[in-house]
Amino acid sequence: MHKVDMSFLRPFIDGTKHTFFIQARVKVTEGKPYLKEKTLTGLSIHIAGVVKIFSQNFRGMICLAFPAQTFLNLMERLLDEKHEKISPEIADGAGEMMNMIFGYAKQVLNERGHSLEKALPEIFYGNTIEIHNKNNDPIIILPFQSTLGDFQLEITFNKIKENKHV
């Protein structure tokens, strides 16, 4: 069983709340973090903004994942125009939101000595997408609820082993 380091996750939770409130005037509520399991069915994800994270001590990724309707509701709030489906014109919104959340968390974590490097978000969307980690590291799900709909952050990271040369 893996222990969840809430001191590392808290800046991402706070960054998510802050970003949604400032950008979309929406309060979000965090659920209880849990480990993603292959057999567990949760939200159907249709779009995600993904950032790979790097520091001297660890590697990982953070994914802001939305069901289609939640994302469309968010884009309507941000753009003040209604969209019926996820299209290339609005898909960048997932990356922009992820970038702001990562920027918030990065600042807090770097003040604590984590030395996170800059990262550019990637966007993935389709009928249903699933985020996998090539390294089989555990993926922590941070669920959120809002008036726009439910969504989640998926976070994974692993410590880099030190190379000791004699």
CATH number at residue 93: 3.40.1550.10
Going by pLDDT thresholds of 50, 70 and 90, the confidence category of residue 156 is confident
**What is the chain's alpha carbon radius of gyration, rounded to the nearest angstrom?**
16
Within-domain flag for 108: yes
The residue among 43 and 99 whose pLDDT is bigger is 99
Q: Is the pLDDT of residue 161 over 80?
A: no
Within-domain flag for 147: yes
Give residue-wise pLDDT tens across range 58-80: 788 899 999 999 999 999 999 99
Domain extent, residue 100, equals 6-35+44-158
- Alpha-carbon dihedral sign for residues 82, 84, 90, 95: positive
- Residue 146 makes CB contacts below 8 A (sequence gap 6+) with 20, 26, 27, 28, 29, 70
Burial of 2 (0-12, 13-18, 19+ CB in 10 A): exposed
Q: Is the pLDDT of residue 45 over 80?
A: yes
Within-domain flag for 165: no
Give residue-wise pLDDT tens across range 81-137: 999 999 999 999 999 999 999 999 989 988 988 888 888 899 999 987 776 666 677
Please give the tally of structural domains in the chain. 1
Within-domain flag for 55: yes
Residue with tokens 């966007």: 123
Model pTM score:
0.87
Within-domain flag for 68: yes
Within-domain flag for 164: no
